[in-house]
Amino acid sequence: MCGIVGYTGKALALSPVLEGLRRLEYRGYDSAGIALVVKKGEPLWIEKRAGKLSNLEDSLADTHPDAHSGIGHTRWATHGGPTDTNAHPHLDNEGKLALIHNGIIENYVELRAILEKRGHVFKSETDTESVVHLLSDARKEHKGDLAAAMRDVCGQLRGSFTLLAIHSDEPGRIVGARRNSPLVVGVGDGENFLASDVSAFISHTKHALELGQDEVVDITDSKITVTDLSGKVLKPREYEISWDASAAERGGFPHFMLKEIYEQPKSIADTLIGRTAGLDTEITAGINLEGISKVVIIACGTAYHAGLVGKYAIEKWASVPVDVELASEYRYREPSVDKSTLVIPISQSGETMDTLMAMRYARTHGARVFAVCNTNGSTIPRESDAVLYTHAGPEIAVASTKAFTAQLIAMYLIALHLGSVRGVIDKKFVSEIGIELAQLPAKVEQILETVEPLRELTRKFKDSGSMLFLGRNVGYPTALEGALKLKELAYMHAEGFAGGELKHGPIALIDQGTAVIAVMPTSTSPLYEKMASNVQEVKARGAVVIAIGDVDLESAAHNIRIPSSHDFLQPVLAVVPLQVIAYEMAVARGNDVDQPRNLAKSVTVE
């Protein structure tokens, strides 16, 4: 949830480190800092500021430190508020060793007590500072070998971490380590990078190395060594990054979120490429799906809503029971799991700690794990038996949009594959759905060409105190997702309900002028009339209804038309207006669209 960057090479380090932090700011942004090795053996050069990265940049405006290696950090606070003192990097008491950290050190209190007894003086409230003092002692024990010291320290830590450290005795050297938190190596020409994700260095190199659990990486401008905690040298997986630098830029849009909403025709098409024709091969290479008696989808937030849609498709097309679980609840109720359970973690980032820990619980109890993920080489797919990567490209805005619709596509593909493997559906059915899926990009394109009236409509409700969302069948998780988008972006109370549930209590919320968005089933669905009755029920009590559907609903005050589709595929279309409404509401309210308050793009703590 924090941005981590390290640079060593021919350039002056401040610029590539700052550039990397700018690209990672979406990961966490309540403070930022940089440490550089300017003079061998002297105290490090360091600057850190609370608040957005721009505060740090302003403080660095006229400085050009003569340093060729350094580390930088953007923070999403877990221990200790967002202050200058709590910002990373943290220093040892000599000011010659600096450390940055992403994650949570669970045993930092006991470590701090031991270290204070040894005479270390703490300045911050963070868990991280315990690590830098521990590392300082370990470095002395290992006669100045920073990598050996890092291996020693990692063996003493409990919790999750990405760590980077530099010492002024060794200009040009950076040592890093990871456990349950992302760290990738960028391999340059006469320069090397370390970062939380590839977008930090993508404009310099597309050649990356993947680091595994409890591995330590030791880099200079010309050498990269990876070891396990015993010091055994490892050969990390190398890969070429498929994204280009512009893919991580705004591309002319005012916000990443709007760019990513408009990228959905492409991200849906990319996620489908080569996956509907040869369904019985590519999808689940590496996992045996024989003898599966139950599917459990685990996820958080928007990914959880994608799982709820997946439940309908998998149960119908594969005739297998599906539970959809909030990852943060799952493992703590100790559910029964065995080898006949197929667990599907859904995660855009592949680093969400709640989902990772729930997946590990299921795996240790014998489940087979088939991940759906958007980030190549991230932790969740690396620890799964198989992975279906969505190809949505980098999703920079904190609010998930294109990743969500890509996750829906992945759900349909898995449902079709499972149904085929279990002999429940035939190739004819698969190809019929394949044709419907292939039409989705053009249908989303069509919706995006008619969003202008949505902007006008949104402004009518910009001062509403709350907004309710109704849906039935797959429209219900779509309603939940619409409510989440509005909460995240407009900071407005919003709630999604199953249409049939309203009369069991929530209808008491309806008052004169209450704004209600109805996600209508396709007009050919047997549920259409039932949903139309739910709209009548709320309208009769004063609600102003906005209906999203493939035909106009007479009782609605406003109709947003979307193309018709197979019932189960309708969420891919209906969610687009909901994303745009949330976006426009955020803009109308003057909120920070891409980095909403209190949120982070990837929540890598439990």
Indicate which residues carry an active-site annotation.
Answer: 2, 601
Which CB atom, from 21 or from 398, has the smaller least distance to ligand AGP?
398
Where in 575-604 is the site for ligand AGP (CB under 6 A)?
602-603
Length of the chain: 606
CB nearer ligand AGP, residue 31 or residue 375: 375
Q: What order do you get walking across the sheet with 3-9 strand by strand?
A: 45-50, 31-36, 69-75, 3-9, 191-195, 184-187, 207-210, 237-240
300 lies in the site for ligand AGP, by CB under 6 A:
yes
CA atoms within 13 A on the CB side of 606: 15
Residue number, 180 or 602, with CB nearest to ligand AGP: 602
**Residue 557, class by beta-carbon neighbours within 10 Å (0-12 exposed, 13-18 middle, 19+ buried)?**
middle
Three-class HEC string of 344-371: EEEECCCCCHHHHHHHHHHHHCCCEEEE
What is the spatial distance between Cα 53 and Cα 56, in angstroms, rounded to a whole number?
A: 5
Q: Which stretch binds ligand AGP (CB under 6 A): 95-103, 396-404, 415-423, 531-539?
A: 396-404
- The correct pick among 20, 301, 394, 482 for binding ligand AGP (CB under 6 A) is 301
Letter for the amino acid at 285? A
Please state the closest distance from residue 24 (CB atom) to ligand AGP, in A: 15
- Closest distance of CB 391 from ligand AGP, Å: 15
Least distance to ligand AGP, CB of residue 602, Å: 5
Could you say whether residue 129 binds ligand AGP (CB under 6 A)?
no
Q: Which stretch binds ligand AGP (CB under 6 A): 169-177, 397-405, 501-509, 511-519?
A: 397-405
Phi-psi region of 354 (alpha: psi -120 to 50; beta: other; left: phi over 0): alpha
- Indicate the residue whose CB is closest to ligand AGP: 301
The stretch near ligand AGP (CB under 6 A) out of 110-118, 259-267, 347-355, 498-506 is 347-355
Please report whether residue 181 would count as binding ligand AGP according to CB under 6 A: no
Cα 388 to Cα 369: distance, rounded to the nearest angstrom: 11
349 vs 525, beta carbon nearer ligand AGP: 349
Cβ atoms of 220 and 192 within 8 Å: the answer is yes
Q: CB-based contacts of 600: which residues, under 8 Å, 6+ apart?
A: 1, 26, 27, 28, 76, 398
Which region, judged by CB under 6 A, interacts with ligand AGP, from 3-11, 60-68, 181-189, 344-352? 344-352
Among 124, 328, 348, 595, binds ligand AGP (CB under 6 A): 348
The stretch near ligand AGP (CB under 6 A) out of 48-56, 100-108, 349-357, 546-554 is 349-357
| Residue 390 is a binding residue for ligand AGP (CB under 6 A) | no
Q: Which of these segments, 39-47, 240-248, 272-280, 345-353, binds ligand AGP (CB under 6 A)?
A: 345-353
> What gap in Å lies between CA 417 and CA 496, rounded to an integer?
30
Among 232-240, 341-349, 446-454, 496-504, which window interacts with ligand AGP (CB under 6 A)? 341-349
Residue of 126, 160, 196, 302 that binds ligand AGP (CB under 6 A)? 302
- Nearest distance from C-beta of residue 405 to ligand AGP, angstroms: 12
Near ligand AGP in 220-259, by CB under 6 A:
none
Per-residue binding letters, 479-518, with ligand AGP (x by CB under 6 A): ---------x------------------------------
Q: Among all chains, which residue has been given the structure tokens 């880099």? A: 219
- Report the candidate in 165, 209, 164, 218 with the shortest Cα–Cα distance to residue 186: 209
| Among residues 102, 276, 341, 349, the one that binds ligand AGP under rule CB under 6 A | 349
Smallest separation (angstroms) from ligand AGP to the CB of 386? 18
Residue with smaller CB distance to ligand AGP, 348 or 514? 348
Q: Which stretch binds ligand AGP (CB under 6 A): 25-33, 189-197, 297-305, 336-344?
A: 297-305
* H/E run at residue 299: strand 294-299
How many CB atoms are located within 10 Å of the residue 540 CB? 11
| 191 neighbors 69 (Cβ within 8 angstroms) | no
Instruction: Give me the least distance between CB of 596 and ligand AGP, in Å please.
Output: 9
Phi, psi angles (nearest 5°) of residue 385: -75, -35
Q: What is the CA radius of gyration of the chain?
A: 25
Decide if 526 contacts 556 (C-beta within 8 A): no
Report the C-alpha gap between 555 and 578 in whole angstroms.
Answer: 20
**What distance in Å separates the CA atoms of residue 398 and residue 605, rounded to the nearest whole number?**
16
Q: Does residue 114 contact residue 122 with C-beta atoms inside 8 Å? A: no
Is residue 398 part of the contact set for ligand AGP (CB under 6 A)?
Answer: yes
Q: Residue 126 or 602: which CB sits closer to ligand AGP?
A: 602
Nearby residues of 571 by Cβ (< 8 Å), 6 or more positions away: 309, 408, 474, 475, 477, 478, 481
Strands (E), 401-553: 466-471, 493-498, 515-519, 544-549
Nearer to ligand AGP, 374 or 534 (CB): 374
400, 458, 478, 514: which one binds ligand AGP (CB under 6 A)? 400
Which of 399, 411, 414, 498 binds ligand AGP (CB under 6 A)? It is 399
Please count the residues of this chain forming the interface with ligand AGP, following the rule CB under 6 A: 15
Shortest distance, position 28 Cβ to ligand AGP, whole Å? 13
Tokens describing residue 429 = 């059915």
Q: Quick one: which H or E segment has residue 269?
A: helix 264-272
Cβ distance to ligand AGP smaller for residue 545 or 578 = 578
Nearer to ligand AGP, 150 or 257 (CB): 257
State in angstroms the smallest separation of the CB of 115 from ligand AGP: 34
The mark string for 350-389 relative to ligand AGP (x by CB under 6 A, - otherwise) is --x--x----------------------------------
DSSP string spanning 126-140? -SHHHHHHHHHHHHH
What is the distance between the alpha carbons of residues 274 and 282, in angstroms, rounded to a whole number?
8
Binding site for ligand AGP (CB under 6 A): 300-303, 347-349, 352, 355, 398-400, 488, 602-603
